[in-house]
Structure formats: structure tokens, C-alpha cells
Amino acid sequence: MDEFGLIDEDKPFRDLATGWNDLHRAADHPTPFMSWEWASGWWDFFGSGRLHVVAFHRGGRLSGLAPLYRCDGPWGLSTLRQIGAGQSDYLDFLIGSDAAEKGYGDLILAVLTSSDSDLILLEQVPPNRLATLRDRGRSTGSYLQVKERGHCYIAELPPRWEDYLAGLGSNERYNIGRRSRTLEKQHGVVFRRYDQPGDDLDRKMDDFFDLMVHRLTMRGRVLAADEEVSRGFHKSIAQRFAAKGWLSLGALEKDGRMIAGLLSFEYGGTLFYYHSGFDPAWAKYSVGMVLMAKCIEDGIGRGLRQFDFMRGRAAYKMKWKVEERSFYRVVITRSMTGYLKFLGHGLTSRLQKNIGRWAAGRGVGRVRSEKADSGRDERGA
């Protein structure tokens, strides 16, 4: 027997932990950002509004989850958003792989009928979900806007580092080798990977977070969230993921001091690159490029099959022999009035951005947020 239920209180949400993790392991395309550890950690630090988690049980077993929350949206529209929005990549509903397509369609219907919200905003929807979303939306008389939101960039990893390196451009091969030798032989810089929970990880995450903030400052960006809240979230997730064996904090260190850090998450044979940072004093040695190479080499040595640069187009990613994959944003409104309000908000936002660009060009001012639409490199932290 199929049963759908709505969870909108904290205790029933916490009680989902075991079933959520079981479903995550059996899902059709799980990522770390769809895990209980990530969702509950995000809610602890960034959650606002009211929980709106739709749970689907089949035969008494949790078989589907739509992790949403209710908040105030544009122009007074009551909005459902995904838990994790703003700090996450690869957000999606969790569906058991044994009935992925039908289960997803049923779950969408349950979401559409479980709330009187004006708007449902789904970010980073994979292409294989779009047909079902359109079909279920039309069947309920909803209005859908589907837009390509951006791309993710994935490097397939061969069994040997030498084979991967040989596939890069000649300039990249030369620079990786030359810079690595300079750092190691002339400056005594070493590569380390931190993946165990405990106090030492907390200290290393503090060092990493400081470097990450330096990197953002150098690029003229600011944290989208309060710095201490963001720091707490990163440290909490690192401990949770380390306990699960999913954490990989790569570091270049000089005399025990971190000069570059790369935070990534390891799941299902893939290393998901989340954030990085470095000491500006070492920028001339290309420590970011060297550390990226060390992390990929280390991952290949441990049998990983992919390095996922995730969303956000950046020139440096194109140098690492990547494949491009699209993802979409889907906006669902329940009425023509809501749809028109949303379109009006979009037009207003674009007008404000254009005015901002014009003002920056005139020297009036320039404010950049890490939460910009250009991708994962500008994710709110």
C-alpha cells in the first residue's frame, strides 16, 4: 500500500534519519547533498520558514522523499524551496532505484497537492526529470517555467595518474610538474589529506575557512551568509562527513601551516569539489592548480572514478579534461496570477542587475555576492 505524509515539525523530521539514510543508499542517483547529514546540517544552520517534507511509504518502507521548506518568496508569494538551496549542488528528490520514474511522478503529484503555496522552486533538476515534471504539472493545471540553469563539469579518471596527466594540454602538464617541484624542493611544501573526525579536523577546517574567505575577498566577493554561521556549517558538515567516510580535505602545508586547501566530498566513487582557498602570498606559485592536481592524483590512487568540479563555468575547469552536463531550474505556480507575479519579479531583478552593471561600469560601485547565478563557484557559503 502506498502512503504519502507531510512532515512539518522538527521532531518527526529528526526521526527520519535512519529511513532517510537507507533510502539515500538505494536512490537512483544519490549524492552527498541529498544525504540526511547534509540536509539536517543545512537546516540547523540556515533553515528558516517551516519544514515541508513529503514522505512516500510503500509497504511500510520509506521509498521517496521531497525535502522542502516553506518560506516567503518574491512579491509576497508563498514558496516551497528545497532544503539545502544556496549551499548545495545536485539537489533532487530521493527515490528508490527500483521504481525511479513512477516514484518520482507520484512524489511530484503529492507535492503539488500537499500545499497551497503559490510557487514551487526546484533548482538543479537533472534532464531526465523534466518530462515527468511537465506531465504531472499539466495534469494538475499548474504553470511551469523550465530554464537551463547552468552546467556541471566532470573529469573521468583512469586507473593511473600518468594516463590522466597525459590527456591534459602540454602547458598544463609542464606547469603542474614545474610548480610542484618548486614547492616541494625549494620550499618544503607537502600535500596532506584530512579525513578523520576530531579536534584536529576542527582546527584544520578553521585554517581552511580563513583561506576560503581570503580567496573570495581577492575575487571581490563576500559570503552570502554570516561568517560565523557559515564557518560553523562547514565545520559541522566536515565532522559529519568524516564520520561517514565521505570527507576529503586536501591541503598544501609549509612547516605545518596550511597555505592552500581544497574541500571535497567523496561518495560513490566520485570526488565532489566543494570549495577551495589559498594564502595570497603563495599565489605566484599556482598553489591552487598544484593542490587540484595532488587531490586528483590522490583520488586516482585510491580508486576513484570521477572528479566532479560541479556547477559554475570557470576557465580553469576547462583545462582538466572535463565533460559538460546541464541542469535546470523549474518553477511551478498554481495560478496564472502567481505565474505573472513571478515573471514580473524576474523582469525587475534583471533590470536591477543591468542597472548595477551600468553603475559598476561608470565607477559608481560594485557589489558582488557569492550567491550569484553564475554557478557553484559563487555559491552562498
Instruction: Domain 158-304: state its class.
Output: alpha beta
pLDDT in tens, 259-285: 999 999 999 999 999 999 999 999 999
Top-confidence range, 89-93, 188-192, 228-232, 309-313: 188-192
Nine-digit cell at 322? 572535463
Check residue 365 and give its pLDDT.
Answer: 40
pLDDT mean over 226-237: 93
Domain ranges of the chain: 2-151+326-334, 158-304
For the residues of 122-171, what is the DSSP string, one character each?
Answer: EEEE-GGGHHHHHHHHHHTT-EEEEEEEEEEEEEE--SSHHHHHHTS-HH
Nearest partner of 79 among 345, 332, 379, judged by Cα: 332
- Give yes or no on whether 2-151+326-334 and 158-304 have one common fold: yes
Check residue 43 and give its pLDDT.
Answer: 96
* E strand or H helix at 242: helix 227-244
pLDDT in tens, 110-155: 998 888 888 999 988 989 899 999 999 889 888 898 999 888 999 9
**CATH for 2-151+326-334, options being 3.40.630.30, 3.10.20.740, 2.40.50.90, 3.50.50.60:** 3.40.630.30
Check residue 293 and give its pLDDT.
Answer: 98
Check residue 276 and give its pLDDT.
Answer: 94
Check residue 164 and give its pLDDT.
Answer: 97
pLDDT band at 313 (very low <50, low <70, confident <90, very high): confident
